[in-house]
Amino acid sequence: MLSVIPNPPRIALPIVGSEDFFPVRRVYCVGRNYAAHAREMGKDPEREPPFFFMKPADALQIVPGSEAVDHPYPPRTANYHFEVELVAALGRGGRDIPATEALDHVYGYAVGLDMTRRDVQDEAKRLARPWDLAKSADASAPIGPLHRVEGRGHPMRGAIVLSVDDISRQAGDLSEMIWSIADQIALLSTYFELHPGDLIFTGTPSGVGAVERGQAMEAAIEGFGAIRLIVV
The region of weakest confidence among 8-12, 58-62, 65-69 is 8-12
Per DSSP, the three-state class of 29 is: strand
pLDDT grade, residue 13 (50/70/90)? very high
**199: Cβ contacts below 8 Å, ≥ 6 apart:** 24, 26, 27, 28, 87, 88, 89, 90, 112, 143
Q: What is the average per-residue pLDDT within 54-62?
A: 97
Mind listing the pLDDT tens digit for each residue in 144-171?
Answer: 999 999 988 999 999 999 999 999 999 9
- Predicted structure pTM score: 0.94
The mean per-residue pLDDT over the stretch 172-188 comes to 95
Residue 36, pLDDT > 70, answer: no
d(CA 164, CA 53): 26
Q: Where are the domains of the chain?
A: 12-231
Q: State the CATH class of domain 12-231.
A: alpha beta
